[in-house]
Amino acid sequence: MSRSPRSQQGQARSRHQRGQAIVEYILLMVVLIGVFGAIMNILKGNDLATRFTSAPWEKINGMIQCGNWVGCGVNQTAPGVHPNTQNRVLTLDPKRM
């Protein structure tokens, strides 16, 4: 049985195109890593992430340390009003609570 020229041509084509998908995936990965790196450099240069998180963190920090949304934590000299900042002794007697 001899192979037709068409089947030989198809085998040669598939042999040459085996690595094409891998090459395309690698190129796509390189492009995406480059775009990601450029975006990260822009964000670091503008301090966008710092401005985005610093204002909400002051309110959250106030709730964590003081128990209310008004800040009184690290930047304030007043002691915290959160119940966990008070010195209490654990007791099982309800009259002593």
Query: At 20, which amino acid appears?
Result: Q
Model confidence band, residue 50 (pLDDT cutoffs 50, 70, 90): confident
Query: Residue 52: pLDDT above 70?
Result: yes
Amino acid at 64: I
The whole-chain average pLDDT of the chain stands at: 74
pTM, two decimal places? 0.41
d(CA 82, CA 72): 10
pLDDT band of residue 90 (cuts 50, 70, 90) is: low
Q: What pLDDT does 25 receive?
A: 94
